Amino acid sequence: MKNRSPLLAAAVAGVFTAGALAGWSAPSVLHAATAASQSAASPAAAAPATTTSAAPPAANQSAIIPLGMAPNYHAIVQENRGAVVGITVSGDLKVSNQSPFGGLPFGNGGDDNGNDNDNPLWQFFRHMPGPQQGRVPMHAQGSGFIVSSDGLILTNHHVVEGAKEVTVKLMDHREYKAKVLGSDKTSDIAVLKIDAHDLPTVRLGNSDKLGVGDYVLAIGAPFGLEETATAGIVSATGRSLPGDGAVPFIQTDAAVNPGNSGGPLFDATGAVVGINSQIYTNSGGYQGVSFAIPINLAQHIEQQIVKTGHVEHGRLGVEVQTVDQSLAQSFKLGAPQGALVAKVEPDSAAAKAGIKAGDVILKFNGTPILDAGALSVQVSGTAPGQPATLEIMRSGKEMTLTATVGSAAHAQLARNEQGGAPATHLGMSLRPLTPDEQQQLGVPGGLYVQDAQGRAADAGIQQGDVVLSVDGTPVKSVSQLRDLLRDHADHVALLIQRGDARIFIPVGLS
């Protein structure tokens, strides 16, 4: 979970878990990294849908926004209410061994002792018993909207992340089991498919045309209250948030609360221009600042998911910072704008293009780069393998460089192979034991389990376990483990050391 004060909270309606917290709900934090890594299983990607997003034109836009008057919100709601859906998910959440709240999505990660004492709910529940480690059942709610009449639905990634079962409820109370065609954590977009036809759809607008002060309307299910409409204006566009540099958020003052996540944000004509995603809050509830993902970006992500089942993001391989006035003067810039390169990763797209630390990137493919966040948005939205023209300032001189954009996924895989957080298709994040750990355990080698999800977690493997061997063959590296797994079709027996005990755990491979 990303921990911020005030909390940057996802607008998920709530998570209901078994055990100590039964019957209580609490808002989930957006891009909850802890919750993400603790999900029991991810939905299998289904075959791409044959119908892409299409939306009929508005029947009578003049009825929605009369000239010189505020939008006809009643008309917007009537036109679109049938295409807004409620989403309920169920799955598992992993809880930490420090406290009942360490792995739950309303926790803040805790203090040095593992206590979530900055969380407003901590004072209510800190004396209650809870599971020390393992997984508990989870149920959560969110919103979504239908973009094609054959059942294609857009929502947030964090709404369905870790779900074993997803249920979509229509306005007329019909319910369908949904397949997750694909989900992208970077953009926080997920595409669902239900087996239905002749469904009402929303009309998609152009988020690039939004301006500060424009009217907007949100529809969703805050706190599970279905078909709730709230209105406001656009407070800012292209907003870059910490940890979410790939999304140029639309900031609004339309009331968005837990449960609105994944729901549509409409403009004054009744067209969808965004997907409600986050709130900035001290309390977990709405405090006047909400953020939505631009629909133009969401459509780009949707098209990739429908076509391939996954999303690829571009990557340059640089660490950058925004240029302020003092930096602009130091680097001989006419204005405080651009992305200052602080570090270039070896063998990255930037390194191969000749970019150096100290360069200031002014334009990317002709688009002015006003700050570091703007560069992240442009690069992430560029397909890996595509050429990109970068206009830079180096030592007071303007230069133009050409880079072949790399792949964010490939870069992560390379970091994993170098020992950052190696992962296997079993759902384990592993690293080799250090010499001191080997001495303490009395073993010549092994792999420490940093996290266990999917098949590994289902088999009973836990964080803190040490993998010693695969079907009797000792393992010392992640690459060796992968090679050994390739020789097995159905099951593999892993020798695990847990504390002072050693046990064989069979894990299914298919």
Active site residues per annotation: 158, 188, 261
Return the exposure string of 218-242: e unless at least 16 CB atoms fall within 10 Å of the residue's CB, then b.
bbbbbeeebebbbbbebbebbbbbe
Least Cα distance to 187 among 245, 129, 136 occurs for 245
The pair of three-digit structure tokens given for residue 288, joined into one six-digit string? 């006047």
Exposed, middle or buried, 106 (CB in 10 Å: 0-12/13-18/19+)? buried
Q: Residue 28 gets which letter from DSSP?
A: B
Cβ-based neighbours of 84, under 8 Å, separated by 6 or more: 143, 144, 145, 146, 171, 202, 219, 220, 227, 263, 264
Least Cα distance to 59 among 185, 187, 203, 169 occurs for 203
Cβ-based neighbours of 349, under 8 Å, separated by 6 or more: 315, 316, 317, 403, 404, 405, 406
Gap between the Cα atoms of 333 and 114, Å rounded: 47
Answer whether 202's CB lies under 8 Å from 147's CB.
yes
Place of tokens 């890996």: 384
Exposed, middle or buried, 45 (CB in 10 Å: 0-12/13-18/19+)? middle
Write the secondary structure of 76-115 as one string of H (helix), E (strand) and C (coil).
HHHHHHHHEEEEEEEEEEEECCCCCCCCCCCCCCCCCCCC
Residue 458 sits at φ, ψ, to 5 deg, of -60, -30
